[in-house]
Structure 1
């Protein structure tokens, strides 16, 4: 069943009309810049509100060298962390030192023992370590109070570091144990 409508004024299209569709209006020039300007303005307002909120919520926000509000940090502020005391290397001839050779090179324990004895250390034992694959030379100490002495002994052994360890406590009466590793510079002629 077909429905018919009565003709009205919209059924007649004038012949001089150049456009199609009455709802489309030609764009005005510069209309795109207006949208861009509104977007830029909205962005600036949002950034300004965000920065203002940061100043209100966080009074420690520092912009530049002066800090927030142009103030400098006060002298009465407590320090965040105290400086660790610096341990100075010492030589204590009363401490017993054991020297172990952890390399396949023969005679290193005796040579390093002689060097330590010449520096003032009481070298009681010079021997080979249980393994010959030690890489880094290390002075081991078991008591934190002996850190300065370990640093002093390490200063006499080129390239040696120090380590707090209980591994060598059972070796006898030695307070310090020097283990020579493969990075130890072997003197020429040996």
Structure 2
């Protein structure tokens, strides 16, 4: 084993220690680090939420508003039932809707609307009688015939489109009835009159 000559580092002194050493930790230093970390986390989360909201279109910036305005998340849905797609049985229920338009249309408003008169009873010639009455009142009757049933007790004017409700009301008034109903049970005409036992002509 190699021995080195004795030098000054071999002498142990009782004086103060010389060299690099760590100082005493300051009190509260951990809380400061935690506060900065929490602040940075909050800022990052806020920026992330804002970026996602802008990407999804939840917020929109408008000129002159001075800030972001929140857009509604879901648009209001207006539910409207299309009359063309409604399925109906060939035989009407026989119950008329009590709701009627405010003002009935006149024969001059008929235009190209097709009008069919059907006999829903066993009385012969009732459809021809009603057709003559409607023609005399100025309505254009497209055709007449027998309904699929002979047991109708009430005369009802059926219409397919909502825009034809006023016409149906005017036709019903010409026949002396007020029963109108929207239905797709008679696809061959815009407005169909089914005469019942209450029709006297």
* TM-score, normalising length: structure 1: 0.49
TM-score (norm 2): 0.47
For the pair shown, which has the larger CA radius of gyration, 1 or 2? 2
